[in-house]
Amino acid sequence: MDDPAPPARQRRNKSFDATHQALIEAAVRLISEKGVEALSVAALARAVKMNRATVYYHFTSREALLEAVQAWSSAQLVKGFEAPASQSDRIDFVARFVLANPDLIKLWIEQFIAPGDIRERYPRWDDLVTATAQVQAARAPAEPVDVEVYCAFLLAGAIIGPRVFRHSIRPEASAEEVVARFRAEQQRMLRRDGLLRE
């Protein structure tokens, strides 16, 4: 039987984890303020007033730092697609996150469209497809639905749609107007397809 880690080691691990998370969140702020091109280990060290060697201890390269930021942004988006919040609250969360974090969304989109298994970037993919397929089977629509393509439309629309709308269709619209309009239309589509869960 393994002995539990000594208290000093537990504190060190908690401290490492807390610092690691704080560095990721600082990198997110840096990207939001200056764009992804401005992100480097040195820039992050300057931003948090930390020794560069300490930051390199957490992230051995800019690529490792970007991967951590991508993983963080993926986790934020996944939260928006999951319970316990209501479906309308989840729709709002994702739309607000997309509008507030354009550079992070660019990173996430790059990761989302890159070759490789989507389950690594969106671990709930199988759940989404299965739940959608079950609803569609129960409804027995006149035209069969390609559930995987339908789910890809849902994800892509939720992640890209609000930015396209705000910047290319209605640039004068406030963020809250965009969120409200996307919520209303997404709920209408989900209701039409028997997927609205309120």
Looking at domain 1-60, its CATH architecture is Orthogonal Bundle (1.10)
Domain ranges of the chain: 1-60, 71-198
Which tokens is 2 given?
A: 């393994």
- CA dist 60 and 63 (Å) reads 8
Please give the chain's pLDDT, 198 residues, in tens.
Answer: 455 555 555 445 668 888 998 999 899 888 888 888 888 999 999 999 999 999 999 999 999 998 888 888 777 777 766 657 788 888 898 899 889 888 888 877 877 788 989 887 777 889 889 988 888 888 777 788 899 999 999 889 988 999 999 999 999 999 999 999 999 999 998 888 877 765
pTM over 0.85: no
Which tokens is 154 given?
A: 């849902």
Q: Give the angle 134-137-138 at the CA atoms, nearest 5°.
A: 85
